Structure 1
């Protein structure tokens, strides 16, 4: 591989991560930035030519990447999550798909002028929404649980089904001159279903057994699973072309719903891998666009986009949700969100190439028309879905809340102080007396172990963005930090060490720092110290800094009498004081500190000196 090719591949990876980071900063789906970068690198500047860079390996690599993305998505589909929505999801991916595809095909024929066979193929390709666009959009839009689950299930399950429908129509097109076109069509459809379904179930079941009985060492779980996904996808496609996507989706769903299968670490790995592939694929496929062909399609393409957004999707959702528990507002948002993604882009590019070789001149119009729809739906829905969800009143709040492990006096004092200033808190504890006292204080509680299976099903984390481990049981704090780290992020998980952990920070019996979460409130803070301060009458007091009373002045005034816990910025953002943070409050910031009454300050200082 020459240096220019090596640099191009590295640049795709770096730019993909940069787009994801920018999207995270500005709260917009990363696909917008990935498409822009791909178009700039490809058709505008000509710097990136994926066909020349990858040659004949381009579409096999794209196919394998899509297989990993679909497997990762299906690995999150637990049947228990959609209780009450099973019929909605089933309708969306069955007759709802046919309704959507038919309306889109008619629009493509009348507005763009595609022949009926190609229009039907385009309609089939446009039925897929896909996890590559739905899941990143859900992170930004944050609709309520019912809409989120319906969209996620639809996006993952519909990909292989929509691709299967497109394959069947493609096979019909190329065999339509034969004497037994209908028979060939039925045979192809049955073969894909049989091979994809059978291989997916077998692979999922066998891999699950190997994982359940510890026949694969833990350090090989990720590599073994990835290799199995590649093998199942390739094997299925060899036995029945285009059945690989169905096989890996079924395999992931089967694994996700087997009991006692340790899939969490695999899911972490696949999620990171999927994000990397999504970033690269959108840049690569956008770089293959021909802007001249896109311009030639004309205003009819805009009409197709309007029909997709305002007719096809709403009609599909309306018919699929009749008699469902979804409210009218939830159905409206569900009808608005339906962006097209990587499956549509990849399948259109593949079929356009094959049909062009067979003499179908209009096949070259499939790719630019598909990308216009992808760009249009992604841009429109990315910019409008979050405000629309807020307008409808079904958007989850910003994750400003805190889950506090423990409902002891220290945790209750902190919970009351935060709730008083508008932060949603939930205190979780297995000790009923503590939970009862917290409820008497007007605090939201969960009675039980926060890392139990019951908590996984019933603990409502909507709006929760941080975890504070304030239990006197250090092991429970660590376990909770590990349990919620993947969902909340490593930077948002904090634990309060026990006094013994502070005294033996480098001792061989102390839990390693990377497993404890970020240390709360400073190097010398411990549960015993905070409990002692609270028992002596310490209270959490708020002080707002000014230009004339800065942070340094606050430190001089309070000295060792106050332990800083939190700071609230002028914009209302909560900052947690930790041993590893460099928070420097400024003017108009509010400091929340656990402060002793002046009369006990001297006694505490004497006690500390004696114990030292």
Structure 2
């Protein structure tokens, strides 16, 4: 009978585990998608999903439910520790290793710019200060044992780059505080994990009765060995890539497999030092030059998004109803969170940034914006399991503390980063701007007309001479290749949320559109067509290019020809009194509608067949100059081989 029940239980587990794995994927990626739609931090929505399908469904099972309903709830209830069994800890550990490697892969030292000194001071001086103060808060406020408090204080030094980056795009901060927040988040992830590793190793060695000298000696050796292994692995892989020893299609999978291998190897020497190894490997590869680096980074980003989504849902689901209730009602938890936000972080930032050139407003903003992210929760979950395996039940508080700190700091930063930046004078202005790729007479005229509509414009080109006219006209410019790796960090992406690729090269326009489409959304990426009236399915594939710019979809050559024939951009306010039909009657049916600015300030770019979107809006058009315009001096103005748009004419309403 017992054997039969055991067999039934094993069969039920084998049946339900694939469903739960699929559910974790759906919940995690679904939360990411919903966060993108709502423009909110994904980490909050992933936590909600994990709480609903973990502890909340677990609490529901405590009631006397009818058997069919109870079976249905049990089938979809997530209980990762029991669902995955012995695989739970290694799965979380390997996932965290890949996440940290991908974070290190994004760190190129040359991109630190004028934030270098502040970032280095905040990491190597502010980090230890925050570690000590955080450990004191965990010890005196929460009442954790000293060594576990040391682990908690060390880990919570981290700030999450996966949370910071979306916030920076929304807040439009000035460059220096934005760079400090971004790079501190990337560098601090492995540093905080290392601090936690140090605390964990001290606990392990203490339980085995090893002396303090032996503890720190082995830790130092393990850390140095891990860093050396990580750096050597990065150089070895880069060398093999350059020599062609690994085919293109295997490069990213080989790197992924090697990350897992060096992580496990380092952990055999000292538990969890593999996190330091993979981070050092990622940072080294980020600063080496080798082929397929961009493709490899994209592959890693995809894997990391999947892992971040799954791990966060899993860790949230591990919270039991009892633990969740205990820490929600425990004032010490919330007092600890408040101390970390208003005492520990500000003190560490203020002390570490003295003498770095930051003014008090920049330091205050940076000190108040410190959302913790997936690494804090993932590493906390990993060490909580390790501590409990050592018989230290207090380790169970690691995860609730992490979730409380992550939740409060993310919500605070998400709602207050914008108002704080404006109040402290650190806002760079609105981000509802337009990036125009390609400086030429027509695009410069378009830029001037958009600026006259109070729309921020940034003009990018790889030719310094072509940007000369834009600079003379007072436009913001970017000299360089927008598709390069350096542009990922040197180009301020927070200043625009629309892009127009306006070069004579149709393939390049499509490439720019494909590159920026995932970040901005395909509905905000536009390009000039190559041939007049060319059907979308006769040119570059629709999914491999941007949307058609202008209501008539004319080519670069046609637009340029009309520009030299005297066509100009016009800004016109359309209303019930002066309709779109009136505008066509006055200006002619062959005009091109470009963009409509709605009453709320939002932009609607007009594509072929979408002319009705211009109704009751301020519309920018490209149309022939009339005799009245010429008599007012609004004809073409030509100087030094460059053509600039003349003052825009607004028809009376």
Alignment of 1:422-461 (within 5 A): 422-429=454-461, 435-446=467-478
Deviation at 1:463, TM superposition (A): 0.7
Aligned to 2:444: 412
Q: Does 1:312 align with 2:312?
A: no
Alignment of 1:82-97 (within 5 A): 82-97=112-127
Aligned to 1:607: none
Q: Any conservation in 2 of the 1:121–1:166 contact (CA below 8 Å)? A: yes
Give the TM-score, by structure 2 length.
0.82
Aligned to 2:633: none
Q: Any conservation in 2 of the 1:143–1:396 contact (CA below 8 Å)? A: yes
In structure 1, the gaps of 5 or more residues are 601-612
Alignment of 1:529-568 (within 5 A): 529-547=558-576, 551=580, 560-568=589-597
Aligned to 1:14: 26
Aligned to 2:140: 110
Aligned length: 596
Q: Any conservation in 1 of the 2:92–2:382 contact (CA below 8 Å)? A: no
Aligned to 1:380: 412
Q: Does 1:346 align with 2:367?
A: no
1:302 counterpart SS class: helix
Determine the C-alpha separation between the residues in 1 that align with 2:484 and 2:405. 44
Cα displacement string for residues 425-471 of structure 1 (whole angstroms, at most 9, x for unaligned residues) = 23345677754444554444456766678977866655123332223
Deviation at 1:317, TM superposition (A): 0.8
Q: Any conservation in 1 of the 2:96–2:379 contact (CA below 8 Å)? A: no
Determine the C-alpha separation between the residues in 2 that align with 1:433 and 1:349. 55
Q: Which moved more, 1:564-573 or 1:391-400?
A: 391-400
Aligned to 2:36: 24
In structure 2, the gaps of 5 or more residues are 1-12, 59-76, 629-653
Match of 2:549 among 513, 520, 541: 520
Q: Any conservation in 1 of the 2:172–2:494 contact (CA below 8 Å)? A: no
Q: Any conservation in 1 of the 2:158–2:185 contact (CA below 8 Å)? A: yes
Q: Does 1:590 align with 2:602?
A: no
Q: Any conservation in 1 of the 2:197–2:273 contact (CA below 8 Å)? A: no
Match of 2:17 among 5, 10, 13: 5
Cα displacement string for residues 211-234 of structure 1 (whole angstroms, at most 9, x for unaligned residues) = 334443333332222222222222
Aligned to 2:68: none
2:619 counterpart SS class: strand
Alignment CA distance shift 1:555-1:572 (3 Å): same
Alignment CA distance shift 1:352-1:69 (3 Å): closer
Deviation at 1:405, TM superposition (A): 3.0
Aligned to 2:499: 467
Deviation at 1:315, TM superposition (A): 1.2
Alignment CA distance shift 1:312-1:350 (3 Å): same
Cα displacement string for residues 18-63 of structure 1 (whole angstroms, at most 9, x for unaligned residues) = 3223323333211111111211111112222112322222222222
Q: Any conservation in 1 of the 2:434–2:457 contact (CA below 8 Å)? A: yes
1:498 counterpart SS class: coil
Q: Any conservation in 2 of the 1:294–1:372 contact (CA below 8 Å)? A: no
Alignment CA distance shift 1:170-1:432 (3 Å): closer
Deviation at 1:167, TM superposition (A): 2.3
Determine the C-alpha separation between the residues in 2 that align with 1:446 and 1:283. 40
Determine the C-alpha separation between the residues in 2 that align with 1:198 and 1:591. 60
RMSD of aligned Cα (Å): 3.2
Q: Any conservation in 2 of the 1:566–1:593 contact (CA below 8 Å)? A: yes
Deviation at 1:257, TM superposition (A): 0.8
Determine the C-alpha separation between the residues in 2 that align with 1:406 and 1:257. 29
Match of 1:573 among 589, 597, 602: 602
Determine the C-alpha separation between the residues in 1 that align with 2:487 and 2:391. 59
Aligned to 1:302: 334
Match of 2:315 among 270, 273, 285: 285
Match of 2:356 among 321, 324, 348: 324
Give the TM-score, by structure 1 length.
0.87
Q: Any conservation in 2 of the 1:428–1:445 contact (CA below 8 Å)? A: yes
Q: Does 1:49 align with 2:79?
A: yes
Alignment CA distance shift 1:429-1:116 (3 Å): closer
Determine the C-alpha separation between the residues in 1 that align with 2:25 and 2:285. 30
Alignment CA distance shift 1:214-1:326 (3 Å): farther
